[in-house]
Amino acid sequence: MSEDQRTEEDKAADEGPGLDLGLPPAASPPPPEPAAEPAAAYRVLARKYRPQNFADLIGQEAMVRTLRNAFASGRIAQAYILTGVRGVGKTTTARILARALNYEPADGAPGGPSLDLSAMGRHCRDIIESRHVDVMEMDAASNTSINDIREIIESARYRPVMARYKVYIIDEVHMLSTAAFNGLLKTLEEPPEHVKFIFATTEIRKVPVTVLSRCQRFDLRRVEAGTLAAHLSGICAREGVTIEGEALSIVARAAEGSVRDSLSLLDQAIAHGGGAVTAEEVRRLLGLADKGRVIDLFEAVMKGEIARALTEFRDQYDSGAEPGVILTDMADFTHLVTRLKIVPDAAEDASLVEAERVRGLEFAQGLSMRVLARAWQMLVKGITEVQQAPKPAQAAEMVLVRLAYAADLPTPDEALRRLKDQPPAAPSAPSPPPAAPPPSGGGPRLSLAPRPSAPRPEMVSEPKALAAVDGPRLATLGDVAALAATRRDLALKHGIETQLRPVHVEEGRIEVALVPGAPGSLIQDLSRKLSDWTGKRWLVSVSSQSGGPTLAEENAAVKAEREEGIKAHPLVAAVLARFPGAEVVDVRTRAEAPADEGLAPSEEDLMAGPGRDDEIEY
């Protein structure tokens, strides 16, 4: 290009910016086309439907009522602390409370703190959006030191710029250090009249009691599943989303009382279903089993149909349900049946699906409380086993096998009751004299008729017997003393009669109280010898109760009663009057008297008629 062909603008550019040639500026290129307005950013449901006033809060009626009465009477505290599980609305409530403390009508009319926040006030929008100069929020999880608290203390001395109160909202306050808590105490106890503190925490036990004592505490409750399901239904209606009632119940129960968790799950379910949400899609999304199929599995297990139960479990597992989730759902249904058995009105809960309501009531009528409690304990233990097992599906199947085989077993108290109510078996042959050693067996006991042949000598000479099944039942302490007498252990018999007070006696277990001065070895000797004599394990223990009278005291009382009764007999009274100094030394019935000491009936006996069976010794 020649020098003449160069434009004046190029020459001016070569000469540098400092030269002004007086030429008109060159025409600038046309501006680019404006970019299209970006679409509004999507706000998740948990933020979009965050409560703006106390009327929007659900499930916290007790707290709202307390605050309403306090504001109406002017009893506004200097500090509040809000506690509860995640997602119940602690931070949201703190912002609403800050808005209520600084509420002023938008038209500038005079007003004071109010919980009637239906109309937006002068400061409401800024407080809701967390940009008000007099309402300061601090996350204690990232500002834990004493220096952060020192800034609050310093700024609290100055009056608010615009609002009525300076409000400090400290979230997760339990994360503050010990020094930070100590530095806050004095200001928290005697704050300036224009300062209010609102704390929020999920770990109330980590907050020092010195801080708690300076605050009004409100425990935000978990929202009930029925209330939460109704709240989610209203949100779906406003969003134009079609959702099944059972799907709402599943989401509400999966949230476990957290409103934020329920909205997050609902947001995810809507995205998964593309605008129409079904219960099956929610189960697949959350990895849950079909509630109806869980009830079918519960029914098969409770009926002891193990093959059907394993088939149903395998079908649910192949459909994508986790083994631990299946057992957890079974435990939840067991808990529901137990509640329905105790409180039938619980069937009106809005979070229950129709299958749970109808079939749960049927199981509540057909299953006993002990069976339900046993199933609950086995399921809770089984869930832990499944979580720790290398193959969860196999561990879950073994839990179902245990449940099914235990379903038709009697509970321990039912087994004891059956044993007590069952009459003792009649002996097929006359029992041998008590002094003879009991027969012994060395193998399993078979239900065979006894042979008429005499026992072999080697069987009689064995040192110990296994179990004397047909022997005497030891139901009382007197039976135990009689067994000691037949075994010729008179020292033990004397100890049983004079030094033991019975508390509870049953087969295999004896509970007694010792009289003062009784030897400590008596309990061990009795337990050991009973085990040797009966072939069964006996547990003899000392009770803290006082126990009843000893056998010797009972016999003495019976003897005294007999003597007093026989002294009132006219014949005995006449004999005692005829022979001064005579005494009644013993009274025995004819059944108790030895056979060789029997006396022929006297004339007085014959005159007394039937029923006179007392024998008098004097």
Angle at 22 between CA 18 and CA 25, to 5 degrees: 90
Is pTM beyond 0.85? Reply is no
Residue 39's pLDDT band (boundaries 50, 70, 90)? low
Structure tokens at 67: 């605050």
Residue 438's pLDDT band (boundaries 50, 70, 90)? very low
Amino acid 209: pLDDT: 93
From residue 249, alpha-carbon distances to 124, 244, 256, 285, 511 in Å are 35, 9, 11, 14, 53
Q: State what percent of residues in the chain have pLDDT above 70.
A: 77
Examine domains 225-286 and 291-412 and report if their fold is the same. no
The CATH architecture assigned to 225-286 reads Orthogonal Bundle (1.10)
Report d(CA 542, CA 529) in Å as an integer. Answer: 17
110 vs 531, higher pLDDT: 531
Structure tokens at 561: 């009663």
Structure tokens at 415: 């087994």
* Residues in CB range of 320: below 8 A, 6 or more apart: 284, 287
Residue 199 pairs in a beta bridge with 81, 170
* CA nearest to 321, candidates 281, 357, 283, 289: 289
Report d(CA 518, CA 182) in Å as an integer. Answer: 62
What CATH fold (topology level) applies to the domain 477-548?
Answer: GMP Synthetase; Chain A, domain 3 (3.30.300)
pLDDT over threshold 50, residue 453: no
Amino acid 414: pLDDT: 64
594 vs 240, higher pLDDT: 240
- Listing DSSP states for 217-274 in one string gives EEEPPPPPHHHHHHHHHHHHHHHT-EE-HHHHHHHHHHTTT-HHHHHHHHHHHHHHHT
pLDDT per position as a tens digit, 159-175: 999 889 999 999 999 99
* Residues in CB range of 220: below 8 A, 6 or more apart: 60, 63, 82, 83, 84, 88, 89, 90, 93
pLDDT per position as a tens digit, 72-100: 888 899 999 999 888 888 999 999 999 99
CATH of 291-412, one of 1.10.340.30, 1.20.272.10, 3.40.50.620, 1.20.1630.10: 1.20.272.10
Report d(CA 219, CA 475) in Å as an integer. Answer: 56
CATH (residue range 45-219):
3.40.50.300
Q: Which of 72-86, 440-454, 592-606 has the lowest mean pLDDT?
A: 440-454
Question: What DSSP element (H or E) covers 280?
Answer: helix 279-286
587 by Cβ neighbours in 10 Å (0-12 / 13-18 / 19+) ranks as buried
532 vs 353, higher pLDDT: 532
pLDDT per position as a tens digit, 495-540: 888 888 888 888 778 888 888 888 877 888 888 888 888 877 788 8
Angle at 395 between CA 392 and CA 398, to 5 degrees: 150
pLDDT over threshold 80, residue 120: yes
pLDDT over threshold 70, residue 612: no
From residue 536, alpha-carbon distances to 469, 474, 527, 577 in Å are 10, 12, 10, 56
Amino acid 207: pLDDT: 92
**Eight-state DSSP code of residue 85:** S
Amino acid 425: pLDDT: 52
Residue 168 pairs in a beta bridge with 136, 197
Amino acid 390: pLDDT: 92
Report d(CA 199, CA 158) in Å as an integer. Answer: 21
Q: Domain-by-domain residue ranges, the chain?
A: 45-219, 225-286, 291-412, 477-548, 552-617
